[in-house]
Structure 1
């Protein structure tokens, strides 16, 4: 039989909890050597000794008493009253309580339970087992992390003649692959040695592309199917649409006919939200938006001409370079044009004229990027010329927010899929800018020099952590941003919603004020025309207008010359008076 000795001690008898703290080293005892003991020191040679049994050791443990807990529920119903006491009568219950409180057994039970409760209270006061010591540490680290990004790898065009990365698309399942479209968009710069292939890269292997896509004409844009990760659709330089299934090889499964396709390069193509998952639509600088079913690319299923006069005249159509579609708004889409105008359209309108709903004019050059905010679809981002602008659908006269003019042309931009207040832009000087409009609006939060050549395309992975930038010399750079730029911050959605609402109201007030000023000026001009006898400026011939402008110019010039002559005469007179005064003082006399 094994005999076990267990030593227990109550937690209350240990005393108060020991609290340790750091303190500098302190010398307690200093024993100097004693020279008189040197002769007694005997040096021994090393010796070995074998032992058959080790020294007996005793082992013991000390621990507080453990309790096993079991979670259970109880349905408490007041009861236990004697039959002669009615619980509904307050006087009877009070009388019965006074009687029980005087009972000796009741007093003893209360005293016994009080000692148990006192022990539990003292134990809880000694050690607070529910205290959280590091509850604010994670938040402190997130707030103190400076924005940063690092380059992971670069996917270079394997051909000798380098081409521009004009389009990028992430694999929908986890973003393990990146599809890149390569083409030369410079006018008459295409050579015979230029390759037509585009590639699909594995982000773990930047040395060699995983698969080649072989279109009949260089691809300008391409897009992965969000419902089927094996299929892609691309737009070519000659205006054709091509459809790939990666399980069937590098050749396109089907290509649209030249007669039914776009007349210019296809700058943007997007998959639509449909039951079959085979619908897409594309746009080009020929001024058309075409809808396709990839199962039958012989002709488009629908066509829209971006003509602001709503006549459907292709000669007056605006060339489109960007396209936007939000799955939560299946009937709406937006088109960015070469003339700096964003056109909002409704696909389900009854007539072609009603499909063009409204326009937003705010850029001096082509709108290269157009995307709705994934958290606030009513607000969208555009990039054109030297600025990036944020718009609201309710304000058509001007954008609600914009960046200051940059030194280089902006070529592409996109919102962060995880942080509603963060968006990315790329410029022709090779710089990637990260903007956090909640942090600051005048300057980017992070500017990173990616490469020495111009950046033309930009795409973010769905988790917001990886960023792919395509350059002019065929390099697709993969970067990883820090956790602060790819993690949703506290109250970020509500703060950004309040900011958008405030800026929208401000623009509405300013626009109403401008409208009021214009009406006052118009009424004032009409009143002046009536005072002139009803004669309008439009009644004068061009020669009369030119003659009147010349007369006004010469009159203003003569008045300015006369004013300068008067000023010179005044200065000369003051100078003569001063000289005369000085001469008089030197002679010691007075002036006559």
Structure 2
């Protein structure tokens, strides 16, 4: 049904000027206030409303059609002849050449080109093109360009965090890695406990697989027998693998001689047989083992600091081991980093408790994540912990000789470069790789590189110094190659680094001596006048102005909090 409305108006009413007049508002409806709705709302004071006073722009980028270019060349051996001239006939070409030489245009062209050609010939005759100029001047040093590039990524199929990395001692392009995925209560999140042997040239699949009986926390190759590997388990046991015998371990120590807690670190030591190693654990004990007989330990040492030889060391008060260091040039000595921030130097040949643990350094406020000696200066070592990196000298025990400023993101591990003695490599919890060089800068890294969006957990240098394998929390191992400037030492680097270490060590000795004098004078003053210290204490106790200021401050603080 079609609905239409017809409106009629006379023609003379069209086009008339409209007449406007003022008229008051008309009340259509009035809604009264509902007092019960007040409980559903709250007064917002102050009100923050962001306002953008500049126009918004949208950015868009596209790739244009790529032009294809082709480089071609031609061998112009004979040309410029007419079509009817046979270039292989000498008489025909000679007749045509005489004809062209008699042409007026040819003569004009030769006269035009001759002055420029003569100028170039005279220039070549004035300069000997085959002579080496300025050979007597000294060669300028090359501009240092620090750079790193990612070679490859090796991904764990189960996505477990990387716990330890160790390079193959003989096959240059292979490394082993173990993975740990446990929660705060050390309960495994996954049933997989595999460790892998990777080939640098093949990142698609591991070159070898190892299947321990439990979660493997550390993994090391035997430097003399590359087919033999040792590892530390979550149960406190140490286990041995042989690549020739399959994926399962060939030997594991019994539980009654194992650590009470997980094995944090295992290291081979210098011995005639090449079969001895030692392990450290958070239970506060270091144990020495022989691969040929894991049913018992060859030696044990409790990391418990005692005041005198009359005191007995106890596992109840021992310091948990978080990191370890061993230098083969000092076969009887080792160093451990503890969970309470100390670095303790041990002597295996010591007979008494104080001789076994003769040196202690208060390194950090938290666990010592890494401790490593400098390859060129064994008395100088590096520690990482509590958002700082510190370089220590065995001659200064009260404080470090060099240290970094507090960092926004902490470092999880650190290591000296085996080829460039002044360089340190740090793995950050923000996924950044930081390279420090003591000869170039001491207040900040000389180079940083974003490796991953996940935290970096461990790293291991190749013996060449140009390659480093870095593991992160998502199970990826990144192989990084460094430039020549970061991988090689100059001829004067050792002397310059020795000068820096001697200078800083001397400075710390002077400060330690001065602090010792101040402490002695303070002690003598306290012993001479004990009443003076009591009087000073009573003055602070009865200070009414201090109490009033504290009361006023607390009242002002409460008012500010109430008004927010």
Equivalent residues in 2 for 1:41-52, closer than 5 Å: 44-48=82-86
- The structure-2 alpha-carbon separation of the partners of 1:145 and 1:551, relative to structure 1 and needing over 3 Å to count, comes to closer
- The structure-2 alpha-carbon separation of the partners of 1:189 and 1:46, relative to structure 1 and needing over 3 Å to count, comes to farther
Unmatched 5+ residue regions in structure 1?
Answer: 1-41, 53-125, 538-544, 563-592
Q: Take 1:177 and 1:559, find their aligned partners in 2: how far apart are those partners?
A: 68
Are residue 395 (structure 1) and residue 392 (structure 2) matched?
A: no
Q: Take 1:496 and 1:45, find their aligned partners in 2: how far apart are those partners?
A: 78
Equivalent pair of 2:322/2:369 in contact (CA under 8 Å): yes
Q: Take 1:271 and 1:225, find their aligned partners in 2: how far apart are those partners?
A: 7
Q: Provide, for residues 42-72 of structure 1, a one-character-per-residue CA deviation record: whole Å limited to 9, x for no partner.
A: 99434446579xxxxxxxxxxxxxxxxxxxx
- Map of 1:519 onto structure 2: 520
Equivalent pair of 2:347/2:358 in contact (CA under 8 Å): yes
Equivalent pair of 2:181/2:188 in contact (CA under 8 Å): no
Question: What secondary structure does 1:367 align onto?
Answer: coil
Q: Provide, for residues 266-310 of structure 1, a one-character-per-residue CA deviation record: whole Å limited to 9, x for no partner.
A: 111111111111000010101010001011111211111100126
- Map of 1:133 onto structure 2: 135
Shift of 1:219: 1.1
- The structure-2 alpha-carbon separation of the partners of 1:130 and 1:447, relative to structure 1 and needing over 3 Å to count, comes to closer
- Map of 2:199 onto structure 1: 202
Count of aligned residue pairs for this structure pair: 434
Equivalent pair of 2:181/2:190 in contact (CA under 8 Å): no
- Map of 1:158 onto structure 2: 157
Equivalent residues in 2 for 1:398-409, closer than 5 Å: 398-409=399-410
Equivalent pair of 2:216/2:233 in contact (CA under 8 Å): yes
Counterpart pick for 1:293 among 261, 284, 290: 290
Counterpart pick for 2:183 among 174, 182, 186: 186
Shift of 1:550: 7.8
Equivalent pair of 1:311/1:353 in contact (CA under 8 Å): no
Q: Take 1:140 and 1:235, find their aligned partners in 2: how far apart are those partners?
A: 48
Q: Take 1:491 and 1:185, find their aligned partners in 2: how far apart are those partners?
A: 47
Q: Take 2:539 and 2:227, find their aligned partners in 1: how far apart are those partners?
A: 69
Counterpart pick for 2:281 among 281, 284, 294: 284
- Map of 1:458 onto structure 2: 459
Q: Take 1:226 and 1:189, find their aligned partners in 2: how far apart are those partners?
A: 31
Counterpart pick for 1:307 among 292, 300, 304: 304
- The structure-2 alpha-carbon separation of the partners of 1:191 and 1:243, relative to structure 1 and needing over 3 Å to count, comes to closer
- Map of 1:212 onto structure 2: 209
Unmatched 5+ residue regions in structure 2?
Answer: 1-79, 91-127, 553-564
Q: Take 2:466 and 2:179, find their aligned partners in 1: how far apart are those partners?
A: 24
Q: Take 1:531 and 1:453, find their aligned partners in 2: how far apart are those partners?
A: 58
Shift of 1:242: 1.0
- Map of 1:238 onto structure 2: 235
- Map of 2:20 onto structure 1: none
Question: What secondary structure does 2:209 align onto?
Answer: strand
Counterpart pick for 2:166 among 169, 183, 189: 169
Question: What secondary structure does 1:518 align onto?
Answer: helix
Q: Take 2:404 and 2:189, find their aligned partners in 1: how far apart are those partners?
A: 41
Question: What secondary structure does 2:477 align onto?
Answer: strand
Equivalent pair of 1:240/1:256 in contact (CA under 8 Å): yes
Shift of 1:527: 2.7
Equivalent pair of 1:412/1:458 in contact (CA under 8 Å): yes
- The structure-2 alpha-carbon separation of the partners of 1:556 and 1:45, relative to structure 1 and needing over 3 Å to count, comes to closer
Shift of 1:472: 0.8
Counterpart pick for 1:552 among 528, 538, 542: 542
- Map of 1:81 onto structure 2: none
Shift of 1:188: 3.3
Q: Take 2:211 and 2:399, find their aligned partners in 1: how far apart are those partners?
A: 43
Shift of 1:216: 0.6
Q: Provide, for residues 418-449 of structure 1, a one-character-per-residue CA deviation record: whole Å limited to 9, x for no partner.
A: 11110111111111110001101000011111
- The structure-2 alpha-carbon separation of the partners of 1:346 and 1:207, relative to structure 1 and needing over 3 Å to count, comes to same
- Map of 2:486 onto structure 1: 485
Are residue 495 (structure 1) and residue 496 (structure 2) matched?
A: yes
Segment of structure 1 superposing worse, 357-366 or 42-51: 42-51
- Map of 2:9 onto structure 1: none
Q: Provide, for residues 121-168 of structure 1, a one-character-per-residue CA deviation record: whole Å limited to 9, x for no partner.
A: xxxxx9x9999939955x622xx1221111000111012xx2110111
Question: What secondary structure does 2:225 align onto?
Answer: coil
Q: Take 1:226 and 1:152, find their aligned partners in 2: how far apart are those partners?
A: 26
Equivalent residues in 2 for 1:532-543, closer than 5 Å: none
- Map of 2:417 onto structure 1: 416
Q: Take 1:262 and 1:285, find their aligned partners in 2: how far apart are those partners?
A: 9
Shift of 1:358: 1.3
Q: Take 1:183 and 1:560, find their aligned partners in 2: how far apart are those partners?
A: 52
Shift of 1:314: 0.3
Equivalent residues in 2 for 1:261-280, closer than 5 Å: 261-280=258-277
Equivalent pair of 1:529/1:536 in contact (CA under 8 Å): no
Equivalent residues in 2 for 1:437-452, closer than 5 Å: 437-452=438-453
- Map of 1:121 onto structure 2: none
Segment of structure 1 superposing worse, 550-559 or 302-311: 550-559
Equivalent pair of 2:183/2:189 in contact (CA under 8 Å): no
Q: Take 1:210 and 1:460, find their aligned partners in 2: how far apart are those partners?
A: 20
Question: What secondary structure does 2:529 align onto?
Answer: helix
- Map of 1:78 onto structure 2: none
- The structure-2 alpha-carbon separation of the partners of 1:169 and 1:531, relative to structure 1 and needing over 3 Å to count, comes to closer
- Map of 2:431 onto structure 1: 430
Q: Take 1:189 and 1:270, find their aligned partners in 2: how far apart are those partners?
A: 23
Q: Take 2:330 and 2:484, find their aligned partners in 1: how far apart are those partners?
A: 31
What is the TM-score with the length of structure 1 in the denominator?
A: 0.69
Q: Take 2:550 and 2:295, find their aligned partners in 1: how far apart are those partners?
A: 73
Cα RMSD between the aligned structures?
Answer: 3.0
- Map of 1:148 onto structure 2: 147
- The structure-2 alpha-carbon separation of the partners of 1:504 and 1:441, relative to structure 1 and needing over 3 Å to count, comes to same
- The structure-2 alpha-carbon separation of the partners of 1:246 and 1:373, relative to structure 1 and needing over 3 Å to count, comes to same
Q: Provide, for residues 372-401 of structure 1, a one-character-per-residue CA deviation record: whole Å limited to 9, x for no partner.
A: 001000011011110111111111111111
